[in-house]
Amino acid sequence: MVKTQHLSSRNSGPLRGQLRAPSDKSISHRSLILGTSCVGETRISNLLEAEDIMATARAMQALGGQIDQTAKCEWTVRGVGTGGLSTPASDLDFGNSGTGVRLCMGLVASHNMTVRFTGDSSLSGRPMGRILTPLADIGATVLDSDDGRLPVTLKGARDPMPISYTLPVASAQVKSAVLLAGLNTPGIMTVIEPVPTRDHTERMLEFFGAEVKIEPDNGGRRIQLTGQPELNPGHIIVPADPSSAAFPMVAALITPGSDVVLSDVMLNPTRTGLIMTLREMGGDITIVNEREAGGETIGDLKIKASALKGVDVPANRAPSMIDEYPILCVAAACAAGQTRMAGLGELRVKESDRLAAMAAGLKACGVGHLEGEDNLIVTGGPVPGGATVKTHMDHRIAMAFLILGLASENPVTIDDGSMIATSFPAFVEQMNALGANIGQQAN
Ligand code: S3P
């Protein structure tokens, strides 16, 4: 694995070959958390062995789960059953992972125990109030927190109460935190989401035997979980992460002559907004070998270099591609005309303020753009590059600009590649195996 902080990418020849993107981060977190809530042993194949997931694995271990690696990417989780968590001996440190900490706070909130949650400086700047508000309604108490930021000391409810919670922001993390709190709460926990968000928690709860009722609700969904189920262990096979596959996908589209196959990609409709958008832009993306595995649709994607054109990306598509805007900006920078993206407010509270970080990086690379409060317009054309981009401890900003460098006139350098390990540890090696030219700072 390349450990260098400064990485550069430069104009590359055609990308050719096959790549299996790392396993899905959302499903990997949930398999460890829900595996710990089962009675007995869950097997996980293709677990994402990246830093975010390892933080969740350590946390589940500290809460009483027995988590073991049996072979590369093969793990077992011996669960403690619903309500069976034990108080951890020390703080739970989630590093860079917003999903890990928010889902885990939800799980803990309905247990009569006090836990201190910490994270790195990026995670400590992100809002936790969106989770803490519904968890307080359920009966948990925040004993200590700096304005709804980490570190947070949370005292779980002794007598948790089911609530009906309408999400004020389209967030699968908030939805999942409330549902996970519902596991050890008697009665029915209800979450209403005005816009559908990724549904892996609901699917996996059902897979493990919980009673989950999902109904349409004014264009969104009403999800009801019956509390205190006995969850039965199973075998989870984690597919490739569409949010990570997005990087080689766009790389192949913008690098002339490329012809790449991305295997095993999860095609859950709550995650495929980028594929839809890239196709509208003229991207040659074919799905083959579509199949069902572990409750999810997966397929292989054939990608050929394409002449892209700018499009309008509507606000209501944002939840289905929320992590993909950095790499969409790269596609837009290489497309003819303008790409207008709306409904991007949530990008301001990701691993970095992604809207500001992308705007600053595009400016440094000579790409025309206009940044609004919650929207962005990118004007495509030849990309000068030749800049060093600040990544603000954000893996997706880092990878996006390394991909831009593959199609720009001059190399693009990023100030810090270390965070790439949170989701895509072998990014440089796997991209270079396709023919990309990414390495230590160019001279
Ligand atoms: C995730 C939900 C999204 C996404 C994150 C993973 C999840 O966050 O950005 O990378 O696994 O539930 P929000 O729920 O805050 O939109």
Would you list the domain boundaries of the chain? 7-23+239-440, 25-237
pLDDT digits (tens, 9 = 90+) for 25-59: 999 999 999 999 999 999 999 999 999 999 999 99
In this structure, the residue with its CA closest to atom 9 of ligand 1 is 323
323 catalytic per annotation: yes
Whether omega before 151 lies within 30 degrees of 0, making that bond cis, reads yes
User: Above 60 in pLDDT, residue 406?
Assistant: yes
Yes or no: say if 423 and 25 are a contact pair by the CB < 8 Å rule. Answer: yes
Distance in Å, CA 16 to ligand 1 centroid: 31
Owner of token pair 């600040």: 390
Which pLDDT value is given to residue 442?
Answer: 44
Can you read off the two tokens belonging to residue 123?
């995670």
Distance in Å, CA 45 to ligand 1 centroid: 22
In this structure, the residue with its CA closest to atom 16 of ligand 1 is 171
pLDDT digits (tens, 9 = 90+) for 294-318: 789 999 999 999 999 999 999 999 9
Nearest to 278 by CA among 287, 290, 288, 291: 287
Yes or no: say if 239 and 24 are a contact pair by the CB < 8 Å rule. Answer: yes
Could you give the 3-state DSSP secondary structure of residue 46? Answer: coil
Beta bridge mates, 226: 188
Yes or no: say if 234 and 420 are a contact pair by the CB < 8 Å rule. Answer: no
CATH fold for domain 7-23+239-440: UDP-n-acetylglucosamine1-carboxyvinyl-transferase; Chain (3.65.10)
What is the pTM assigned to this prediction?
0.97
Owner of token pair 């450990």: 3
Report the 3 state secondary structure along 307-368.
Answer: CCECCEECHHHHHHHHHHHHHHHHHHHCCECEEEECCCHHHHHCCCCHHHHHHHHHHHCCCE
Q: How confident is the model at residue 4 (pLDDT cuts 50, 70, 90)?
A: very low
Which pLDDT value is given to residue 436?
Answer: 98
Yes or no: say if 244 and 269 are a contact pair by the CB < 8 Å rule. Answer: no
What Cα–Cα distance (Å) separates residue 4 from each residue in 416, 439, 442?
A: 8, 9, 12
Yes or no: say if 313 and 358 are a contact pair by the CB < 8 Å rule. Answer: no
Can you read off the two tokens belonging to residue 225?
């979980």
User: Above 60 in pLDDT, residue 429?
Assistant: yes
The burial of 71, by beta-carbon neighbours within 10 Å (0-12 exposed, 13-18 middle, 19 or more buried), is given as exposed
At residue 391, what is the residue type? T
Q: How confident is the model at residue 443 (pLDDT cuts 50, 70, 90)?
A: very low
User: Above 70 in pLDDT, residue 2?
Assistant: no
User: Average pLDDT for residues 126-136, to the nearest whole number?
Assistant: 98
Yes or no: say if 344 and 371 are a contact pair by the CB < 8 Å rule. Answer: no
In this structure, the residue with its CA closest to atom 5 of ligand 1 is 99
pLDDT > 90 in the chain, percent: 96
Which pLDDT value is given to residue 146?
Answer: 83
Can you read off the two tokens belonging to residue 97?
């992972």
User: Above 90 in pLDDT, residue 408?
Assistant: yes
pLDDT digits (tens, 9 = 90+) for 370-404: 999 999 999 999 999 999 999 999 999 999 999 99
pLDDT digits (tens, 9 = 90+) for 196-209: 999 999 999 999 99
Can you read off the two tokens belonging to residue 354?
């992604």
Give CA–CA dist 138/161, Å, rounded. Answer: 5
Q: Which of 28, 94, 102, 171 to mutate to test the pocket of ligand 1 (most atoms within 8 A of CB)?
A: 171
CATH superfamily for 25-237 is: Enolpyruvate transferase domain (3.65.10.10)
pLDDT digits (tens, 9 = 90+) for 140-176: 999 999 889 999 999 999 999 999 999 999 999 999 9
Q: How, if at all, do strands 39-45 and 74-80 pair?
A: antiparallel
pLDDT digits (tens, 9 = 90+) for 105-129: 999 999 999 999 999 999 999 999 9
In this structure, the residue with its CA closest to atom 4 of ligand 1 is 323
Q: Which of 323, 353, 415, 416 is catalytic?
A: 323
User: Average pLDDT for residues 313-341, to the nearest whole number?
Assistant: 98
**Mean pLDDT of all residues belonging to the chain:** 97
Distance in Å, CA 171 to ligand 1 centroid: 6
Q: Which atom of ligand 1 is nearest to the CA of 103?
A: 12
Q: Which atom of ligand 1 is nearest to the CA of 29?
A: 11
Q: Do domains 7-23+239-440 and 25-237 have the same CATH topology?
A: yes
Q: How many CB atoms lie within 10 A of CB 171?
A: 22
Q: Which atom of ligand 1 is nearest to the CA of 170?
A: 16
Q: How confident is the model at residue 343 (pLDDT cuts 50, 70, 90)?
A: very high
Q: Which of 51, 97, 99 to mutate to test the pocket of ligand 1 (most atoms within 8 A of CB)?
A: 99
Which pLDDT value is given to residue 293?
Answer: 83
Distance in Å, CA 179 to ligand 1 centroid: 15
Give ligand 1 pocket residues (Cβ under 6 A): 26, 99, 171-173, 176, 198, 322-323, 346
User: Average pLDDT for residues 250-261, to the nearest whole number?
Assistant: 98
